[in-house]
């Protein structure tokens, strides 16, 4: 018999993908969490604009039983910061993800600490990451055949999402966890450190490129499980901690 989760405690995990990707990028982490008995849902963002993406995330959150640990990668962190303000969300996990404050946008944050990447304008108001640079920029720690598949299966993302400022953000009054990919060429690790420090996040650094949920799914799942465990334990306070993951 499986013990019932207490009411109003974290019983579900909702995963939000980043720009140019889809929810299938979460498959390795999803499978680990499911194997641990965690109810895990994956959001499919339309990537047509921030408002539409937030709406999609809120629909997924609303379908869950009990409260939710909201997990996001890359641009998905912008979505989670807004969508996570509802009462069902108990904690947020940022996986190499943007964590904007009120009034900030993806573009304004990225301007603080520029990183080298190669976006390709498709001429219709959308962008992808140039496939010729995809492996080096995004996934240099994945097998080349996996990086190549990610490159050719990209979903165009509306350029409008990059400049859209956010309003109220969830991490101001909810615990957050930040995974820093120390070899990240898309999200500068120094920018990640700045964002996660100002939110007093529990921080874990992983020697990885921009997709640690694909290259180090066990380490990412461990951080998510920690967030769930702390959310369901009323006696364990949220504290910031930093550790290295090889």
> Taking Cα atoms as reference points, which of 17, 14, 76 lies closest to residue 39?
14
Do 174 and 83 contact (CB within 8 A), yes or no? no
Using alpha carbons only, what angle is made at residue 227 by residues 64 and 83, rounded to the nearest 5 degrees? 50
pLDDT at 160: 96
pLDDT at 10: 59
Give the residue extent of every domain in the chain. Answer: 10-114+164-236
> Is 92 exposed, middle or buried, given 0-12, 13-18 or 19+ CB atoms closer than 10 A?
buried
Q: Which DSSP helix (H) or strand (E) runs through 245?
A: strand 242-245
Neighbours of 200 (CB within 10 A): 13
pLDDT at 4: 38
Domain 10-114+164-236 has CATH 1.10.490.10: no
Structure tokens belonging to residue 31? 């499978």
The sign of the torsion formed by the CA atoms of 60, 61, 62, 64 equals positive
Do 227 and 91 contact (CB within 8 A), yes or no? yes
> Taking Cα atoms as reference points, which of 217, 239, 218 lies closest to residue 227?
239
Backbone angles phi, psi at 214, to 5 degrees: -100, -40
In order along its 246 residues, the chain shows pLDDT tens digits of: 333 334 334 589 999 999 999 999 999 999 999 999 999 999 999 999 999 999 999 999 999 988 999 999 999 999 999 999 999 999 999 999 999 999 999 999 999 987 777 999 999 999 999 999 999 999 999 999 999 999 999 999 999 999 999 999 999 999 999 999 999 999 999 999 999 999 999 999 999 999 999 999 999 999 999 999 998 874 343 334 433 443
Q: In sequence order, what are the residues at sequence separation of 6 or more whose Cβ sits closer than 8 angstroms to the Cβ of residue 173?
A: none
């Amino acid at each position: 018999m499986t013990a019932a989760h207490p009411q109003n405690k974290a019983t579900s995990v909702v995963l939000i993908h980043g720009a140019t990707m889809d929810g299938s990028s979460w498959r390795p982490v999803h499978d680990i969490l499911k194997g641990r008995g965690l109810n895990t849902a994956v959001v499919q963002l339309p990537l047509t604009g921030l408002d539409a993406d937030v709406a999609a995330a809120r629909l997924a959150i609303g379908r869950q039983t009990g409260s939710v640990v909201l997990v996001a990668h890359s641009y998905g962190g912008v979505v989670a910061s807004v969508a996570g303000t509802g009462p069902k969300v108990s904690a947020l996990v940022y996986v190499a993800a943007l964590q904007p404050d009120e009034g900030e946008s993806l573009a304004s944050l990225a301007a603080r600490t520029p990183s080298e990447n190669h976006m390709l304008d498709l001429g219709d108001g959308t962008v992808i990451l140039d496939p010729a640079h995809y492996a080096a920029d995004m996934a240099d720690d994945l097998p080349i055949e996996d990086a190549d598949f990610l490159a050719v299966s990209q979903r165009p993302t509306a350029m409008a999402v990059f400049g859209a400022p956010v309003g109220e953000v969830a991490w101001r009054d909810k615990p957050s966890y930040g995974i820093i990919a120390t070899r990240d060429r898309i999200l500068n690790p120094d920018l990640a450190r700045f964002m996660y420090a100002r939110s007093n996040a529990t921080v874990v650094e992983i020697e990885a490129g921009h997709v640690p949920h694909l290259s180090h799914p066990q380490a990412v799942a461990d951080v998510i499980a920690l967030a769930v465990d702390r959310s369901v334990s009323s006696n364990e306070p949220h504290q910031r901690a930093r550790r290295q993951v090889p």
